[in-house]
């Protein structure tokens, strides 16, 4: 590993403090010296040419749980300056798995791949990631939905005492293996079937290990405020820090309510409940198309859901409910991003209204056809938020940046589909559009939201700052040029202005290009490296 001297830079250290002219010396994968002038000899000298040197960005909400087994580079993230991801979000994680359910918890890009290793426990999952190699550092959460599947299946009911005990054991094993907390996805079955009491009981287990609770809340539309209240209640009753995932208001009728929800977060903090949130800088969500189907129809798992969709009587009732939910312009706001088979590849990147016109059928029938023919493996984006809300949330001091996307690429096995542009552009978009162009906050604040703040939230005490002794995760960027280029119409485009990225002391991005180094580490809570 080379010693590296980075000179002629403006250092933004990740604390929110003003930038300063300085030099940084990296030795043995750590930051050894930070000073105005470093008196040291290095085998590698990088002239920053007056650009900004910051801590590597921490993606506080990522879904790259198993993509690493297909492509360890993490191209779409590392080229944004991301050096650490927080995975296991929205109730879904790579482990635990029942031995008879080895596909549980895998991302859509990885399911069914013959090269995918097998594991059962959380420790085995993290070990498999380490052996495989990862392009960025990974801090993992254990997913409540994944634990529920392993502990009691997909059933829409309360757990028995034995099942609750089993789920608690899964939580304990994950935390002892090094998980940083647990997540829930309360719009996604089977996590959606959990009561507040169930979540509190499991949160108490995680709290005893010093972990956090991250939640995709039950509702981000008209019941947004009730959902925030539930999250705060769980934090209060379990004595656990609460982190609200991708905070937003998704229904036009709910736009503006984020002012109240953010006030609720402030009030909770004043009363001793530790609440934070993350956000991606776009006005569209993304998830699986099956999310448009009411949660009761998912009872019993994917096979049971497919059977209901195909049943003439039940399917008709579901179509009526979905049609009502979509309203006047819902189908136009919905764009297909990924399908499993070649048969329907032409649908990728098209609005549901376009697909319906192409097939000559109503949009609800087109949605049913896709779900059935693709066996539910259909991704979509939904244009549901407003720009004013995005800015309001972003400015809040307790909100950090998270892409809510898995690592993708413009080539190889992770280049499929037409994904949400957040996979390629989240962090440069904040720096370029919201910070430089719109002046939402100073550059130091933007960097803090991507570095020091998420590092503090996770307890990553050796990352997120430019300080001696910290891991040498660093990004060199041009504040006058950095910007995202990915769009909804053409998402697979890397950003500009990210000149150099260093992960654990190894140069991974140089002059904007990937060096081929796979330098990330699987991080385990409470363990030194």
- Per the CB < 8 A criterion, the answer to whether 447 and 427 are in contact is no
Give the Cα separation of 302 and 504 in Å (integer): 41
Query: Of 443, 517, 508, 519, nearest to 482 (Cα)?
Result: 443
In the chain, list all ranges with CATH 3.20.20.140.
57-283+384-458
Long-range contacts of 265-274 (CB under 8 A, 24+ apart): 265/228, 265/232, 265/396, 265/398, 266/398, 268/232, 268/235, 268/236, 268/242, 269/398, 273/232, 273/235, 273/236, 273/242, 274/235, 274/241, 274/242
Task: Note down pLDDT in tens along the chain; length 529 residues.
Answer: 889 999 999 999 999 999 999 999 999 999 999 999 999 889 999 999 999 999 999 999 999 999 999 999 999 999 999 999 999 999 999 999 865 554 443 333 344 444 678 999 999 999 999 999 999 999 999 999 999 999 999 999 999 999 999 999 999 999 999 999 999 999 999 999 999 999 999 999 999 999 999 999 999 999 999 999 999 999 999 999 999 999 999 999 999 999 999 999 999 999 999 999 999 999 999 999 999 999 999 999 999 999 999 999 999 999 999 999 998 889 999 999 999 999 999 999 999 999 999 999 999 999 999 999 999 999 999 999 999 999 999 999 999 999 999 999 999 999 999 999 999 999 999 999 999 999 999 999 999 999 999 999 999 999 999 999 999 999 999 999 999 999 999 999 999 999 999 999 999 999 889 999 999 999 999 875 5
CATH 3.40.50.12280 applies to domain 4-54+471-518: no
CATH superfamily ID and name for 57-283+384-458: Metal-dependent hydrolases (3.20.20.140)
Give the tens place of pLDDT for each residue, 120-168: 999 999 999 999 999 999 999 999 999 999 999 999 999 999 999 999 9
Helix-helix angle 224-238:196-207, to 10 degrees: 40
Q: How far is CA 167 from CA 142, 144, 148, in A?
A: 11, 9, 7
Q: What is the spatial distance between Cα 7 and Cα 25, in angstroms, rounded to a whole number?
A: 9
Rounded distance between C-alpha atoms, residue 265 and residue 248, angstroms? 13
Cα distance between residue 186 and residue 191, in whole Å: 5
Vertex 36: Cα angle to 33 and 40 (nearest 5): 45
pTM, rounded to two decimals: 0.95
- Can you spell out the DSSP letters for 380-426? EEEE---HHHHHHHHHSTTEEE---B----SSSTT--S---THHHHH
Within 10 Å of residue 157's Cβ, how many Cβ atoms? 11
Q: In 239-367, at which residue ranges do the beta strands (DSSP E only) sit?
A: 242-244, 275-279, 284-288, 334-339
Residue ranges, comma separated, of all CATH 2.30.40.10 domains in the chain are 4-54+471-518
**Residues making up the chain, counted from first to last:** 529
What are the backbone angles phi and psi of residue 251, rounded to the nearest 5°? Answer: -120, 135
Classify strands 498-503 and 506-510 as parallel, antiparallel or unpaired. antiparallel
Give percent above pLDDT 90 in the chain: 93
Give the contacts of 146 (CB within 8 A, at least 6 positions apart). 91, 92, 93, 94, 95, 96, 97, 104, 105
Calpha distance 41→134 (Å, rounded): 30
Residue 520 makes CB contacts below 8 A (sequence gap 6+) with: 74, 83, 84, 133, 134, 135, 136, 137, 138, 503, 504
pLDDT for 61-116, tens place per residue? 999 999 999 999 999 999 999 999 999 999 999 999 865 554 443 333 344 444 67
Beta strands (DSSP E) in 151-259 are: 181-185, 212-216, 242-244
* Closest by Cα among 371, 449, 439 to 403: 449
- Report the C-alpha gap between 439 and 78 in whole angstroms: 25
Rounded CA-CA distance 148/93 in Å is 11
Closest CA to 401 of 410, 409, 393, 412: 393
C-beta separation of 472 from 482 below 8 A: no
- Continuous segment of H or E residues that includes residue 59: strand 57-59
Strands 284-288 and 378-383: antiparallel
> Is-cis flag, bond preceding 190, omega within 30?
yes
DSSP string, 455-492: HHHHT-TTSSS--TTSB--EEEE-TTT-B----SSS--
pLDDT at 529: 55
Tokens of 439: 């002046």
Task: Please give the Cα distance from 12 to 464 (Å, whole number).
Answer: 11
Specify the pairing of strand 142-143 against strand 181-185: parallel
């Amino acid at each position: 590993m080379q010693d590296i001297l980075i000179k002629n830079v403006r250092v933004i250290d990740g604390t929110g403090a003003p930038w300063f002219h300085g030099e940084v010396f990296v030795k043995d994968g750590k930051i050894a010296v930070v000073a105005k002038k470093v008196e040291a000899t290095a085998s590698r000298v990088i002239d920053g040419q007056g650009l900004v040197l910051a801590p590597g960005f921490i993606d506080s909400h990522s879904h790259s749980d198993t993509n690493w087994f297909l492509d360890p580079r993490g191209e779409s993230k590392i080229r944004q300056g991301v050096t650490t991801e927080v995975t296991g979000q929205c109730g879904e994680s790579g482990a635990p798995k029942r031995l008879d359910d080895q596909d549980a918890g895998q991302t859509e890009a990885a399911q069914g791949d013959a090269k995918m290793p097998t594991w059962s426990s959380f420790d085995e999952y993290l070990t498999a990631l380490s052996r495989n190699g990862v392009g960025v550092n990974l801090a993992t959460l254990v997913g409540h939905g994944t634990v529920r599947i392993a502990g009691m299946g997909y059933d829409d009911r309360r757990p028995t005492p034995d099942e609750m005990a089993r789920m608690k054991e899964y939580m304990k094993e994950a935390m002892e293996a090094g998980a940083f907390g647990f997540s829930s996805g309360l719009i996604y079955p089977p996590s959606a079937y959990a009561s507040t009491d169930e979540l509190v009981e499991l949160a108490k287990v995680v709290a005893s290990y010093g972990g956090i609770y991250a939640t995709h809340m039950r509702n981000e539309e008209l019941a947004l405020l009730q959902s925030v209240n539930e999250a705060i209640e769980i934090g209060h009753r379990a004595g656990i820090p609460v982190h609200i995932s991708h905070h937003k208001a998704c229904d036009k009728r709910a736009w503006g309510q984020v002012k109240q929800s953010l006030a609720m977060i402030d009030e909770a903090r004043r009363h001793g409940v530790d609440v934070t949130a993350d956000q991606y800088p776009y006005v569209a969500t993304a998830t699986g198309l099956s999310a448009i189907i009411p949660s009761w129809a998912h009872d019993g798992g994917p096979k049971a859901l497919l059977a209901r969709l195909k049943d003439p009587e039940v399917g008709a009732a579901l179509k009526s409910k979905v049609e009502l939910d979509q309203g006047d312009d819902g189908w136009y706001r919905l764009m297909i991003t990924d399908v499993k088979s070649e048969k329907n590849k032409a649908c990728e990147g098209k609005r549901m209204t376009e697909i319906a016109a192409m097939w000559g059928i109503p949009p609800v029938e087109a949605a049913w056809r896709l779900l059935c023919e693709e066996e539910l493996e259909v991704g979509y984006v939904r244009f549901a938020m407003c720009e004013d809300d995005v800015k309001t949330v972003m400015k809040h001091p307790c909100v950090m940046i998270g892409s809510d996307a898995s690592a993708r690429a413009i080539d190889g096995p992770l280049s499929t589909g037409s994904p949400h542009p957040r996979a390629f552009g989240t962090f440069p978009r904040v720096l370029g559009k919201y910070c430089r162009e719109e002046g939402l906050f100073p550059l130091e604040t933007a960097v803090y939201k991507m570095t020091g703040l998420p590092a503090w939230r996770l307890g990553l005490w050796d990352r997120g700052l430019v300080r001696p002794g910290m891991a040498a995760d660093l990004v060199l960027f041009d504040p006058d040029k950095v910007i995202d280029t990915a769009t909804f119409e053409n998402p697979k485009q890397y950003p500009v202005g990210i000149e150099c990225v260093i992960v654990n002391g190894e140069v991974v991005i140089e002059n904007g290009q990937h060096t081929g180094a796979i330098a990330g580490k699987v991080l385990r809570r409470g363990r030194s490296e």
